[in-house]
Amino acid sequence: MLAIRTAFLTLISTAAVCVAAEPAAYTYESLDYAATGNTYLYGLNDVGDVCGATSALGGLKGFIYDGSDYELLSFAFWSPAHGISNNREVCGILYPWNGGWGGYRAKDGLMTPTPEHASAHENHPYGINEASDIAGWYMQSPNGGFRAYSSASGVIDPPVVSPGGSTYCRAYGINEAGVVVGDYLQQGGAGVGRHTFIYDPATTDWDYFIVSDGICTGYGINDAGTIVGTVYSNTYGSGSFILEPPYNPEDYRIIAVPGAVATTVRDINNDGRVVGYYKDSADRYHGFIGYPIPICEGDATGDGLVTFEDLNAVLAAWGSVGGPADLDGSGTVDFNDLNIVLAAWGSDCNT
């Protein structure tokens, strides 16, 4: 599943460092719940659904979007949907809830408060898989620090931190094998700062990704072990990243929506699609879906062939902003994309 180094001392000495890199090859589609307010996308699955939240209705209300219709999740003043599984079960947070922040899971419009750490001062579920295993973090008391958890594994505390453990450890993403990604705060010794961790409960192995002069948070992980997240660095700047196994630093790539002031990537699925949100020059936030530009030139449908189906896909999306038919990544489906299909006509990248 995941090529995680197994020896603890080896992990420390060979931890990958997030460094400046080239942009990832994606085309982007904006998504707004309404003409006003902010829209945030937090999670996606492998069957075409995304989840997130909107501020257009007061507070921050959650939703599921299936590509054509929205399902509103208005369970509290704040009820953003942070994660969604392939069976369309979502998890998120509730506020106010029992005097603080609570967690929920919901399916088919039915909401159930999450039992994980229900007595905590704050409970923040973020990721969920098909086995209904939730990854998140909780705050035991107003000044009690953060603890990461998954439903199946319990409390997660990276062993690399200084004696006594981290008082700041958050889990955000989980894949179908139960592998969890998040961040932790190293407060003493070598490597002070906030770093990304990956934890595999099946092997109890850990891996770490460190930015030397800032912070690096992993938000999402797919079944191939590819992670996405954000990085803030005085040297390398701030933005979002994608990193695949075997986690060589030179493979770190930037994800940035063209023209955006800031881009935050929150999740990745098994097709390599990503979701998140970006801020425009008017300080409004928009959700986005990022589609990997096909490796096969001219293949707009992703089947490895360049045929009439790709031609029809480009024509059907003509003039739209981004999306999988935007083959050159310019942000608009136009004649350049049509010419790419025609130039590669008849190609078979499956052989």
Helix (H) or strand (E) holding 340: helix 335-343
Distance CA 115, CA 130 (A): 18
Half-sphere exposure of 300 (CA within 13 A, CB side): 31
Distance CA 41, CA 50 (A): 7
Packed helices 335-343 and 308-316: angle between N→C axes, nearest 10 degrees:
180
Structure tokens at 184: 């932790």
Q: Are 87 and 130 in contact (CB under 8 A)?
A: yes
pLDDT of residue 189: 55
Half-sphere exposure of 318 (CA within 13 A, CB side): 7
pLDDT of residue 8: 22
- To which residue do tokens 């891996």 refer? 207
pLDDT of residue 153: 82
Structure tokens at 157: 């505390």
Distance CA 346, CA 60 (A): 48
pLDDT of residue 2: 29
Distance CA 308, CA 314 (A): 10
Q: Are 211 and 193 in contact (CB under 8 A)?
A: yes
Q: Are 241 and 255 in contact (CB under 8 A)?
A: yes
pLDDT of residue 191: 59
Distance CA 186, CA 190 (A): 8
- Report the topology of domain 301-351: Type 1 dockerin domain (1.10.1330)
- Closest of 278, 289, 284 to residue 56, by C-alpha: 284
pLDDT of residue 5: 26
- Domain 17-292 carries which CATH code? 2.120.10.30
Domain spans of the chain, in order of start: 17-292, 301-351
Structure tokens at 68: 């054509």
Distance CA 253, CA 241 (A): 6
- Closest of 288, 296, 304 to residue 327, by C-alpha: 296
Encode pLDDT of 176-203 as tens digits: 999 999 998 876 555 567 888 999 999 9
pLDDT of residue 13: 26
Q: Are 2 and 257 in contact (CB under 8 A)?
A: no
CB count within 10 Å of CB 4 equals: 19
Encode pLDDT of 197-247 as tens digits: 999 999 988 888 876 667 889 999 999 999 999 988 766 566 898 988 776
Q: Are 101 and 92 in contact (CB under 8 A)?
A: no
Given a cut of 70, the residues of the chain with pLDDT beneath it are 1-24, 116, 118-119, 142-144, 160-167, 187-192, 211-213, 234-238, 247-250, 351
Helix (H) or strand (E) holding 313: helix 308-316
